[in-house]
Amino acid sequence: MESAVTEKHRMVDNIAISYTGIFDTEILSVLAKEIEGTLSPDDKVNKKVFKIFIELAQNIAFYSLEREANAEGNDTGVGTMIIRNFDDHYVFSTGNKTTMENIIPVMEKCDNINSMSREKLREYRRLQRNMPAGEKGGGNIGLIQVALTASNPLEYSLIKCPDGTYFYIVSVRIDKE
């Protein structure tokens, strides 16, 4: 079994669904339908991928540095999503532009999440959920939920762009059952 990291260098192989552009509600619902309806013959796996998609796509919508107005004129994040299909698992990845300053806490959060057992993660999620809901989109719980749903670690990488910004990629493996 290969990990998402060793597969990273051949990102273009085995693509089942990919999308690059704005992540507004309309696009989200189209992609969600595609995932729920057609990805795999196993509804339970589709549901897992769907849940992970919603959380990571909403993180792009809220936090991507690259932004565009959608059809209604609302400011929306731009990013990329790729689902790759392997024999016994899928790898779900999203990528978006960011700054070093904004992404360091997110990467620390991923490391923190990866160090926790399922029980600890649930406790952490409860803690975050009890915090006041002032924060944009509640993105803090999203990554915890992704790790819980996938039952696999979050893998991330950062690519420096020529304009001095960074492209942040987060991947997670979803096992077929």
Partner 1 sequence: MEDIHISGFKDCYIQPTVDFVESTGECAISGESFMEETAKFYWPLVEWVKEYGKKHNKIVFTFSLTYYNTSTSKWLLAILKELREMENEGGEVTVIWHYTPDDTDMNDDIMDYMVDTGLHINMVPFDEP
Single residue of 46, 55, 78, 169 touching partner 1 by CB under 8 A: 55
Q: Does 28 bind partner 1 (CB under 8 A)?
A: yes
Cα gap 152→135, rounded to integer Å: 26
Q: Which of residues 97-126 bind partner 1 (CB under 8 A)?
A: 122, 125-126
Residue 129 touching partner 1 (CB under 8 A): yes
Contacts of 52 (CB under 8 A, 6+ apart): 92, 146, 149, 150, 172, 174
- Residues binding partner 1: number (CB under 8 A): 28
Q: Which two tokens stand for residue 76?
A: 């929306």
Asked if residue 141 binds partner 1 (CB under 8 A), the reply is yes
Q: Does 19 bind partner 1 (CB under 8 A)?
A: no
Report the residue number, 166 or 173, with the smaller CB distance to partner 1: 173
Check binding of 138 to partner 1 (CB under 8 A): yes
Span 59-88, contacts to partner 1 by CB under 8 A: 61-62
Q: Which tokens hold the place of 132?
A: 């006041």
Q: Distances from the Cα of 75 to the Cαs of 3, 72, 176, in angstroms?
A: 35, 9, 36
Where does this chain touch partner 1 (CB under 8 A) — which range of 46-54, 89-97, 101-109, 162-170?
46-54
Q: Which DSSP state fits 66?
A: S
Short-list 168, 174, 153, 142, CA closest to 66 = 168
Q: Are 154 and 172 in contact (CB under 8 A)?
A: yes
> How far, CA to CA in Å, does 15 sit from each of 32, 54, 113, 142, 151?
16, 19, 27, 24, 22
Q: Which of 130, 162, 163, 164 binds partner 1 (CB under 8 A)?
A: 130
Determine if 173 is a binding residue for partner 1 (CB under 8 A).
no
Residues of this chain that interact with partner 1 (CB under 8 A) are 25-26, 28-29, 32, 44, 47, 50-51, 54-55, 58, 61-62, 122, 125-126, 129-130, 133, 137-138, 141-142, 144-145, 148-149
